[in-house]
């Protein structure tokens, strides 16, 4: 494992930032363009993961384990969020027979 | 080999993430999301964050993805496929995303942290080190997260329970 990291030492932190920005943006595009509620949830998971990876990278950069502890908390939070969100989706499906978020457009007003 | 592993895995995860968003079938989206999370696990291994790699593997690829697949199959969606959003909205969404990525990268370019990532302490991300951190300064948030998970579990059960009064 250590020798694997030896090879990694020349990746600049900038590239981690760019990569995570791209993944985060893909998640944002997914939220904006899809109408399936489950796919929207998956895009939110993508965004959370991009932030997680960036936190881990900065934790290595600053030699501070707090960043990785934050990632652990974000994972716990994501698990809770997914459980509640999916149960809400199941309930919406039970009431409207669809998980198209446009059915819920009355929530806008 | 060098840094090419990082770029290769990063390319793979971008491709899989794009497939998640643009796959027509939600089941395919979930499967691509599993692949994306697997590449993220590889990223954690490359950062020598072994604890996070294992937790990512178990929690995301195990628990969360099974939950997604389970709900997706429970809902039996194949009869009504997702109606297409108008092409205009899709283009607008993609343009907005492009603007976002340009803004993010452009603004972070001026930060210019271009020095390579160096692991000063090789056992930074190991279980022992993180456990000491987690049960030392982060004791209270750790206990609170257990409360959060408990309340989420109760909430999920309560939400998905059929309402007897409404039915009867």
Write out the DSSP string of B53-111: HHHIIIIIIIIIHHHHHHHHHHHTGGGSPPPPPPHHHHHHHHHHHHHHHHHHHHHHHTT
Nearest to B55 among A19, A57, A75 (CB): A75
User: Which CATH number describes the domain made up of A2-100?
Assistant: 1.10.287.3510
For residue range B116-125, list pLDDT tens digits in order: 777 777 777 7
Question: Crossing angle for the helix pair A13-33 and A37-62, nearest 10 degrees?
Answer: 170
**Is residue B68 a part of any domain in this protein?**
yes
Predicted TM-score (pTM) of this structure:
0.87
Mean predicted lDDT score pLDDT of chain B = 83
Task: State mean pLDDT over B120-140.
Answer: 83
What percent of chain B clears pLDDT 90, i.e. is strictly above it?
A: 26
Find where tokens 């089941």 sit: B27
B88 domain residue, yes or no:
yes
Q: Is B130 part of a structural domain of the chain?
A: no
Confidence check: pLDDT of B11 > 90? yes
For testing contact with chain B, the best of A33, A43, A77 (most B CBs within 10 A): A33
As a whole-number percent, the residues of chain A with pLDDT over 70 amount to: 90
For chains A and B, what is the number of CB pairs under 8 angstroms? 267
Give the per-residue pLDDT at B146: 92
Q: Are residues B86 and B165 in the same domain?
A: no
- Among B20, B114, B156, whose Cβ lies nearest the Cβ of A84? B156
Cβ contacts (< 8 Å) between B74 and chain A: which residues?
Answer: 90
Confidence at residue B166, expressed as pLDDT on a 0 to 100 scale: 55
At A73 the pLDDT is 92
Q: Greater confidence, A8 or B100?
A: B100
Query: Quick one: B147 and B74 in the same domain?
Result: no
Domain that holds residue B116: 2-123
CA distances from A105 to A88, A108, A109, B77 (A): 16, 6, 8, 20
When the pLDDT of each residue in chain A is averaged and rounded to a whole number, the result is 85
Per the structure, the count of domains in chain B is: 2
Q: Is residue B128 part of a domain?
A: no
B67 shares a domain with B8: yes
- Complex ipTM value: 0.87
């Amino acid at each position: 494992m250590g020798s694997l990291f030896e090879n990694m030492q020349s990746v600049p932190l900038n590239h981690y930032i760019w990569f995570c920005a791209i993944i985060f943006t893909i998640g944002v595009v997914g939220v904006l363009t899809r109408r399936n509620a489950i796919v929207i949830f998956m895009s939110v998971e993508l965004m959370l993961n991009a932030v997680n990876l960036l936190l881990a990278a900065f934790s290595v950069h600053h030699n501070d384990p707090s960043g990785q502890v934050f990632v652990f908390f974000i994972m716990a939070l994501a698990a809770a969020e997914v459980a509640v969100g999916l149960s809400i989706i199941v309930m919406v499906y039970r009431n409207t027979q669809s998980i198209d978020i446009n059915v819920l457009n009355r929530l806008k007003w | 080999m060098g840094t090419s592993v990082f770029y290769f895995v990063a390319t793979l995860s971008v491709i899989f993430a794009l497939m998640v968003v643009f796959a027509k079938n939600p089941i395919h989206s979930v499967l691509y999301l599993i692949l994306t999370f697997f590449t993220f696990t590889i990223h954690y291994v490359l950062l020598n964050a072994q604890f996070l790699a294992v937790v990512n593997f178990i929690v995301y690829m195990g628990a969360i993805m099974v939950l997604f697949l389970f709900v997706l199959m429970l809902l039996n969606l194949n009869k009504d496929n997702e109606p297409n959003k108008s092409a205009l909205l899709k283009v607008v969404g993609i343009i907005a995303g492009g603007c976002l990525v340009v803004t993010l990268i452009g603004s972070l370019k001026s930060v210019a942290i271009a020095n390579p990532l160096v692991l000063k302490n090789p056992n930074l991300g190991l279980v022992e080190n993180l456990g000491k951190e987690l049960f030392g300064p982060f004791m209270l948030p750790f206990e609170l997260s257990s409360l959060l998970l408990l309340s989420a579990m109760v909430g999920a059960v309560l939400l998905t329970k059929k309402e007897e009064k409404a039915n009867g």
